Structures are given as C-alpha cells and as structure tokens.
Amino acid sequence: MMKHFDDVRAGFDIDADVVVVGTGASGAVAAANFAAAGMRTVVLEAGPLIRPEDMTRDAPRFLARYFWEGGLRIGLGTAPVPSMQGRCVGGSTVSNSAIMLKLPDWVREEWRREDNIQWLADGSLDAAFERVFERTKTAPTPMVAMGRRNFFARDVLSDMGVPSKPLPRAVSGCDGCADCLVGCHDGRKQSVDRSYVPQAMIDGAEVYTCCHVCTVDMDGDRVTGVRGDIVEPRSREHVAKFRVRAPVVVLAAGVMSTPVILKHSRINPRGRVGATLNAHVSAGVFAVLDEQVDPWVGASQGWGAISTETRGLKYESLWADPSVMLVRWGGIGRHLLERLQDIRNMALVVMVYRGGITGKVGVGRDLRPRIKFHIPDDDARLMYRECHRVITSMQTLGARYAHVGNMPGVPEDIYTAEDAEGLLSNRLKGKHLTMTGNHVFGSCRMSSDPQRGPVDPDGRVHGTQGLYVVDTSIFPSPSAVNPQATCMALADVLTRRISDLGLAG
Amino acid sequence: MRRDPEGAYEKLVARGADALGEVLFPVNDLGAPNWKESDVVGRLLSYTDELPLRMRRLVRLQYAAMQVFGGLLALRPWPFGRLAVKTRHAAFVRMRNSPVLALRLLSDALKASLQMMYFSDPAVQKVMGAFKPETRPDDPFQIEVREGVLEAHLEADRARGNAGAAPSAEVVSS
C-alpha cells in the first residue's frame, strides 16, 4: 500500500513495529526485509512517487521537482561542490546511472580492522551482494547500448594502458537512451522504486510519501517513534503533522539528511553525528572530436576501469543532458553559439578517486544540511595529473580540443600538449578543482569505538535502544567505488540482523 | 511553460535576466536561437517557480542584484539592463575574470542558470543535433527520435577492428 499526498494531507498518527525513514537504496532494502519478516513496517518518504508519465527530458525541471533543494544543493569549504540527492520514492537510484560494484576487499578489510566491524569477514556481506545483484538484475552494459561515446572512453583508457570493461549496472536490457538522470521511462533501470519498494508493499509494508521526518522521539535511551511534516510535493509547503510510534526506527534518509534528523532530535553521541563527512574526489575531461559522437545516445555510464596503478582511482564514461552537464562550458555570446554544434562531437571521461576529502554536516535553517568539504591539494593535483594523461590520450586519438573546467594557467579549450602542461603546475590546488560531490558518505560513521563514529557495528546509534542507521552515512570511510551496491548490501545485512534480534534493540 | 513576470520585484529579476540573456545568447547569423527566441527569461521564471522557496529566492536575488548593481562593473551608475550590449558583455567578462571570488562565483551562478534554461530549449537542442533512440509520448519536452543509431555505432566500431562483444565475465569488478 502506498499513500500519496492527497491521502495524508490531513496528517496522521499511527503505530508500527518498525518505521523506516527514506525509500532510497538502503531504505527500500530495509523495508523489504522487515516486511518479509512479517513486521508491520511503515516507510516514510519526504518526496513523491515519480510515475513514468511524470518523467520529463526537461532536465532542470526534473531536478527542481525531484531533488533535494531543487538539485542546487552546494557544499562549501575549499570550493563550492554541487551535491545532488534524489527526493522521491527510490531516492537517488531513480536518477543515477545504476552502477553496481562490490566494495573492494582492501576497503572492507580496512573497515573491519580500524573500526572493529568483525562481521565484515564472516561472508554475510558477500551473500548480501549476491541477493542485491539478483534482485536488481545487475548485468554488464550490453555492447549495443554503448554508442560511440562509450567506445571512445574505452579507446582512451586503452591508449593509457588501463584495462577497461563494460560497467555492471542494475539495468535489465538497457536501450542506451542516456536518460538515467531524468528517470528510466520504460522501467529498464531497476531503481529501488521498481524493485525493492514494490516487493516490500507486496509483503505488507505501508509506504507514506510526502512525509518529511524531522524528529526521532525518545523515552530515555529507547526510541519511541518519529514525527514530521506532511509536505506538498510541488510547493514544499508544510500542510500538516504526522507521527509514527514504533519501538524500532531505522534511518535511511541519506548521508545529508540522517545527521540532520539526529542532531535536530538532540541525539549526538560524543558529538560525532555529522562531525565527519567523506566524498570521492572527482574530475572530468570533455573531448571534442572531428567525428560525430552523438553523445545523447548510449548508456549514461557504460564503460569504466579501476586503476591498477593508483589504488582507489576509477575511470568512467559519462553523459547527462547538456542543460545539466555543460552549464559552465563554452564561454559567452557568439563564442558560445558558434560551438553549439561541437556538442554532437563530444565525449567525456570522468575520474573518481577515493582520496582524503573530509567535511561535516550541520543543521541549517528549515532543517537543511549545512555542508562543508575540505579538498586536499595533493588529491586535487593527482586528479589534474590524471586529467593530463587522459587529454594526452584523447589528443593521440584525434580529439580537436579538450576541456577540464576553468582554472588558472589552463586554457578553457586545450588544443595542444603545451596547452595541457598547465595541469601539471603546483600552482593548482584543491580550490581550483571542478568537481561534484555525489559520492558522499560517513556523516554517521559505523565503528565499535563511539569516539570514531556514532553508530555501532550492528547499525545502532551508540547509547540508544531501537534506533538504527543503515544508509551511506555509516560508511567508515570512502568505498573507492560507486556506493550504491555497498549501501544496499550493508542495509541488507544490518536489517536482517535487526530482524533476528526480534526487535529487542 | 513560458511565464510573464508579475509584480515589481519579479520584473526587476526579469530585466536582469533579459539583460544578461542578450549578452550570453545574442542575435546571430549562426542559426542558433537568441535569448528572446528561446524565451530564457520566461522559462527561468517558470523554472524557479518549481524550486523550493529558499533556492527560488536565491536564484532570483542573483538576477535582481545583477540588474541593480551590474552597471557598477562598467563604472556606470545605471541598471545593468540600461547599458549597451557591448558594455554589458565587457562588464560580464570583467566579472568572470575578477580577482574577487564572490564576483566570479556570482558570474558562474548566473551563467549556469541561464545556460541551463537555454540548453533545455528543444529548439536549441535541435541546433546542437540532439536526438534520442526512443520517444516519450507523454513528455511535454519533445525531441527528435532516430532509430538504429546505436546499432550503426556498434557496426562502425566493429569496422574499426574492435571485437564488438565482450564476454559477460569481462566486466569491471572491484
């Protein structure tokens, strides 16, 4: 059963065995597990359900409607870093490229060793990955869905000597429409609104949309439920209140919202909630070729590689609508208009590096997260060097010019090897990096040591009973790969353990 | 989705967006729609209507501020929209290259939101040559559909001597 805005606009006060906050990658898995275990499961989602007929290729409008802060969320600090999170049933899985990669063994071992999460070694996470991959029909991107843009990324990586392959994605029969960002209209992408949420509802979960959780209620150290506001999906006007009483609350509101809810509820063991934040360092290189690439077709991210030289570095092809990807590109006036037709010859290779970005999440007005990132200069310089390598290969393969963003000493359009030399300058720092912070984690780290993180290895908030966190905020450190599969597998393991505890907390 | 400005403040915002729109997307002989033809101002207002209140205010404030104070970038005491387009262009370039971080960030934000509107105009996407392999009949945003392009890309890739089909085991894994 799913309740929409018209069903809940008057507010409500209900009871449940367990309440799950959020229907993104981890919340949907949690809801499906609790419902399958026979618990009365209430799932609360701040955004609306997006039906296929609601999806539009008008990307700015889609972002404004279905992303937190209209898709304009920015982290401050070293440099402004855009950070986009979905605000709809399915969360960011509706609009990401559905890349599904297992947590690397070396990261898993680091988490086990440094944060004493011993169950990471017992095989349960591997079993969870298998279940998640099966449910989401994860498969390599088919060759026919690649398009020239993904093949060009393959050729660039090959020229660099980096072994690369089709990326495994949670898509069943991708048709290469490159519309991942604005929702998969024909349901091929197995975002959790199409996979886990329907299964949870079949097993009896009640999903309430347009319900923004603000506060976790506690009685001493024991959780008693959650409260929040009913939000009109378009205007975001708060029209009524709701309350759900439950002995178990599972927060899966995402890396930015979960710490806000906890802090607003004055639950902050040892001051660690939101005191940490990690993100992958990212950068991208656009190439403009002499041949037609037709970048608007082909899987959004069909091809990729994990570096064998630099641990924690990954390369991917990428595309999204030009109205989102190219807003800073192209200069102004006639210069910009002359180059509109260059876009049809464009390809993009992006790099994601585990690095050492740190940050924090505070609570702003209207319960908005206040986000800060610190980008280390050394990490940024590694990315500039990789950009230089990628550009060199792009030029070898006949790129007319390349573009990496606006930074001092580097021409906006890089035509020659000399133009690219500026990328190797030590003058460039973290503050010059043009990056997006969409792989973000660790705002409520999981650790057996409460000084290191506010969530224990069972997913329970230290010092509480019945209050759990299962989203990417519990990652003890960056995953080094796209986080979706890992956060789903972690949620799968943790919620099965919570069910086994018989709600004892 | 076009919309006319309502009220004094919205008109101020619209004048700021119109003045900058002419700088970014001027009348041209290149076949590209100019700022008026793609109605970047009307679509900016309509787009900001969909944003959460705080972001809506922030985006509109940027254009209002540009209209009120933009003239100072050209050392003129007039609103930005009253400057000649060449003067506006030079002022905006100066803003983009300014040593003052706040001015550079504001110029980035203004260009980004207006370019977002321009690039999301189907007529502009047509000039870019954009198309899709399948239609979305219920989407008000309609774009050209061409079938068989991905198959042609695969054939061309094979003709270049690539294998074309990777064994299923050969996927990126961590």
Burial of B169 (0-12, 13-18, 19+ CB in 10 A): exposed
* 3-class state of residue B49 by DSSP: helix
Closest CA to A355 of A408, A314, A388, A318: A314
A58 contact residues in B (CB cutoff 8 A): 1, 120, 139-141
What is the structure's pLDDT at B4?
Answer: 81
Instruction: Judge whether A56 is closer than 8 Å to chain B, CB to CB.
Output: yes
**Token representation of residue A210:** 């347009």
Q: Distance between CA A323 and CA A177 in Å, rounded?
A: 16
Q: Distance between CA A302 and CA A300 in Å, rounded?
A: 6
Closest residue in chain A to residue B129, using alpha carbons only: A344
What is the structure's pLDDT at B139?
Answer: 94
| Interval B105-154: pLDDT, tens | 999 999 999 999 999 999 999 999 999 999 999 999 999 999 999 999 99
Cβ–Cβ < 8 Å for A468, A461 = yes
Q: Tally DSSP H helices, then E strands, for chain B.
A: 7, 0
Question: How far does the CA of residue B111 sit from the closest CA of chain A (Å)?
Answer: 7
Length of chain B as a residue count: 174
What is the structure's pLDDT at B37?
Answer: 97
Instruction: Judge whether B55 is closer than 8 Å to chain A, CB to CB.
Output: yes
Residue B68 host element (H or E): helix B53-69
Q: Distance between CA A281 and CA A164 in Å, rounded?
A: 20
What is the structure's pLDDT at B171?
Answer: 53
User: Phi first, then psi: what are they for A45, rounded to 5°?
Assistant: -125, 130
| Interval B57-113: pLDDT, tens | 999 999 999 999 999 988 888 999 999 999 999 999 999 989 898 999 999 999 999
Question: How far does the CA of residue A443 sit from the closest CA of chain B (Å)?
Answer: 24
Bridge pairing between strands A467-469 and A248-251: parallel
pLDDT of residue B2 exceeding 70? no
B166 contact residues in A (CB cutoff 8 A): 140, 143, 165-166
What is the structure's pLDDT at B1?
Answer: 57
Place of tokens 């991210």: A301
pLDDT of residue B166 exceeding 70? no
pLDDT of residue B169 exceeding 60? no
Q: Distance between CA A28 and CA A198 in Å, rounded?
A: 9
**Amino acid (1-letter code) at residue B146:** R
Say what the ipTM of the complex is: 0.93
pLDDT along chain A (505 residues), means of 10: 97 98 98 96 98 96 97 94 96 97 97 97 96 97 97 97 96 95 95 97 98 98 98 95 98 98 97 97 97 97 96 97 93 95 97 97 94 97 98 97 92 95 95 93 98 97 98 98 98 92 49
Closest residue in chain B to residue A143, using alpha carbons only: B165
**pTM: predicted TM-score of the whole model, two decimal places:** 0.95
Other CB atoms within a 10 A radius of the CB of residue A323 amount to 22
B168 contact residues in A (CB cutoff 8 A): 139-140
Q: Identify the band that residue B172 occupies on the pLDDT scale cut at 50, 70 and 90.
A: low
Q: Number of C-alpha atoms within 13 angstroms, CB side, residue A348?
A: 27
Instruction: Judge whether B7 is closer than 8 Å to chain A, CB to CB.
Output: no
Q: Do B166 and A164 touch (CB under 8 A)?
A: no
Q: Do A140 and B143 touch (CB under 8 A)?
A: no
Give contacts of B 61-100 with A, CB under 8 A: 89, 92-93, 96
What is the structure's pLDDT at B170?
Answer: 47
Closest residue in chain B to residue A140, using alpha carbons only: B171
A101 contact residues in B (CB cutoff 8 A): 172-174
**Token representation of residue A84:** 């986009």
Question: Nearest 5 degrees, angle CA A301-CA A369-CA A41?
Answer: 75
Q: Distance between CA A99 and CA A302 in Å, rounded?
A: 9
Domain range list for chain B = 8-124, 131-174
Question: How far does the CA of residue B81 sit from the closest CA of chain A (Å)?
Answer: 16
What is the structure's pLDDT at A445?
Answer: 98
Q: What ranges in A136-273 are assigned the alpha helix state H?
A: 147-160, 196-202, 257-264
| Interval B5-47: pLDDT, tens | 889 999 999 999 999 999 999 999 999 999 999 999 999 999 9
Q: Average per-residue pLDDT in chain B?
A: 91
Other CB atoms within a 10 A radius of the CB of residue B68 amount to 15
B165 contact residues in A (CB cutoff 8 A): 143
Q: Number of C-alpha atoms within 13 angstroms, CB side, residue A258?
A: 40
Sign for the pseudo-dihedral over CA of A54, A50, A348, A164: negative
> How far, in whole angstroms, is CA A142 from its chain's centroid?
23
B118 contact residues in A (CB cutoff 8 A): 323
Q: Distance between CA A51 and CA A40 in Å, rounded?
A: 26
Question: How far does the CA of residue B26 sit from the closest CA of chain A (Å)?
Answer: 6
